[in-house]
Chains A and B, each alone.
Chain A
């Protein structure tokens, strides 16, 4: 009979990652309850829940964020925590956490009006990257090469964007040859990393970036594990630029995707995730 450790997995759609996680629990003969966020009703008057630990695998950031807060307030340990989801779900909060911890990051400026954003862009110097603070999979990123483009995009954002586009997160463009590193940290330990190489400056594998193995080294281990600590992350994926001056942490992802990284790294990423959850539940 499978062991019941009070583990639940919060998700909705079952992508390859969730399927591999389910299979890893089954291979270890450990029961888990599946919570479909599309069916969840959060009763704010119910203070006791039948789970000890919840692995969050939502595809919707907003559902993850609110559900994790609900669970954490009811003393349910979640992986990751609400605090981590909150920080990692917002690029500005992530950069603030990383810079506070002294972790090297690209130069970033934040402004709240098109006028101050234009000044900030010119202060950084072209090209720059304009990102929505909340967003994923490389959506609505803009590489701005000159003042004409800057003025046009800022006007479009002001006119067409929703309210969260009125915070202008401006980052220096790191010319890394359309390549960056995606590093996986589980339980505080760097377990593997890939290069993502693309024909485009946006390198997400979700957008066609190709993966190859990174040989781990002490500098990469130190910066990635420090970045995970800075966002209080249990299981996170760190996006890193490799520059002549050293590594720079770009973003931290809290519901990491890894389907393209298992064969490349040779690391059983879902197995490591599940072993960590079981260890935390034990």
Chain B
């Protein structure tokens, strides 16, 4: 019954989306504004129904209802409940249902909470949201029904890919999806504003919190995904330039550009057409990502679908929405009037540079990701890997960091080059000190990119704090704090990446229990190896005690885990975190007569990568609270005056 109820809820939600689209279309085009009154309740009801469908699927997974095909192929009755729960979206159909649920809830939120937008634009936005949702409902209902039954029902089910059996999986995809789909709101806003010819500062102020929220969630999702890959895959790397990772990076790059241009539009009323364009591009990148991941065109840990008809379906959706939005943009962009002017030396210019650089990075990542697919269409198999991305994206990203250091220290509209130079003198001096120190100490031993990364991180780290200089810290607006912390986070992340690639030390040994290994200043005593059992796995575990410089020994336990359903072995690396780095130990196979392969890494400051990511997201949250609080205060003051 639960499965049928879930499916029914999904059909109802799809019908409501159609109704929502029709109401807005006739209401706006025919000038029948009484029709528009029904749009908001319909959008809310649609959101509630998607949530019901999703909860139904969760219930089916938790109850291990093997008569549902999706549950039997992706779950197992002996699995811990957390992974039954997370398994709901650890597969193609479930993740697409999560997608429409997030879209439905986002639409409901726009209907309920959006107050700043002009009414007709608001309604057109909800119409746009319904139009996008409809395509994805169709995809679910016609090509990937999550509630399909199977007869006869199997006893136990096939289980979940053990790599995905990790707490990280429970939270990483939903966060990422909230961000992906959150960008659909920005897309719908852009559509709405183009339709009602309302691209101006007030529109940007209404759109900004939605962009900020989606961007924060994307940032968290990518950061968490990177850390998950780092500790779960056991190869010690944190970014692989895998097409699936790129699929999440590309919307993030576009959203980051959008976030900055929407701020220019909201505060200075410039970059009108460009901002709308970016909103279209950002969600288009989410859809391109979904296409890459879900179409089966690539195989990867993340790609579930192997059915080419689904790929075609998503490709058609993609062409329809992106093409439609670009056509609308081309048709209406002439109606977008020119915004305010600014001088060449101004913060606006720096933000334009920021946008250009982000767009360029987006372009080269997109080219690198799609190039193998294009050549394959002509019969060549190539792969574009880290050497390409590092070489192309690395230098541009570091240039972007420089713009990030200077931008916040410039005034809006016009500034003087000499004054700006004086403001950046201290950060530049600190960068120079870092440069000289590094050149004298490790200069020739590390690569050019890590070297430049460390120098720039030092300069940008200081520059990002400069906007707080000589200010009353308690009175500094929260969104200024947000910017400062997010930019500091970028510097921290870059420092971590550079330190990891410059200074990581690695040791590979075959050792016997009882052996003592010295690696990178650590003493590792391999005490014993023993078999252990978990909920639905068995493992070989190496018990070790590690210490450094005569400090207190700490016990750590790298494992090699064996899962029976499906039969797979996974590596559980042992991580020991210290303030200045991480010790990372992987247990390999038995080499010969009682010797075990061990791979030991000391990774200085590697945790800074994710700490930086968390700071960036925190900055976004502070900016969001700061902007919203200001809005609330205005409202409160307004009420008091009225009273």
Whether A associates with B in a native complex is: no
